[in-house]
Structure 1
């Protein structure tokens, strides 16, 4: 049965809730160059939305002589350092929409491929309790685009994934949420989503409301 509002809203983090993608790219570039390699902007864009373990493996092919865990810790440390120095760069409208969801008592989960300490660093600085559950890259065996993370998010909230709405900015993330069975709103940021399986594409979350989410869910979830 399809309801007028989703049973829950599942949020991606990097690029959707916060504008951290430039921080990740800077961290990747610094690490690869420290080992004598080079890293183009185009190469960096190809990793957006993917799991950190895949990113670490790519870094190793670029000459980074560290273990996957060491690479992930290095990148995460560098991104958190930038967040501390410059503050949390919220994406337009994202924090406001999340707050409205909380006021409407619609359950929410953060579903990210960043590791847990990074996810909680961001979530803890919203200024309010934004999520009922957090699923991070170190909580799952399979990274996006595999659907495991979104299945886990729905499971933690105790809801049917097919009655959930997911908000994503990248092709791997959209593929993950779609394969899990959620209705997916794609909000493109640094990469195009033209050929993605997103049910709806919004250019921005700025000005969007819970009513907009419910309308999208009602239309797309009924298909």
Structure 2
């Protein structure tokens, strides 16, 4: 097994560990919103707009075949990723409002984020092709993003998240990475998956930052976005 594969596997395990450590992240749960969560949100969004979307534009220019492979097609898939996660979020909230204490909203949230983490884990190998630096940048952005998602899921589901949910999501990223070793997909499909991920990340960050009751820290969000964006530009 090559060093590149080992590094990718280690990253997948570390990403899963974010959810294992969920009880210790409770220090971030506060109002006004934790500076660190807003900072993490800014980093995640910068990764999408400064790295992922430009990479998709380059991929679209180079790929041939389906119209989806062109820049407009890939950006449309990114929009679809945002819309799909928005729809799932609305559905989970509506079910929770109609059936207080029911398991259906928890299961829906859990299934959606398990698939999301699985996708992030699957794409680790593609990022590893860019070398250790690219892998580290991906790992930092996704690790911080997992932290934001973890606190959001705990806020929604409480003890059910700690008892069951976090373990499912902790296993999802390593499982996705393991599948990537067994099943390689064409470059075209990898680009589509990255496009879906881009849209989903934007939605999941913004929905946590915008609600007025969160009293989010704009300066921390902007600092995270600007600082990480600068790192991506010079790297």
Greater percentage in helix: 2
Q: Compute the TM-score of the two structures, normalised by the length of structure 1.
A: 0.29
Greater percentage in strand: 1
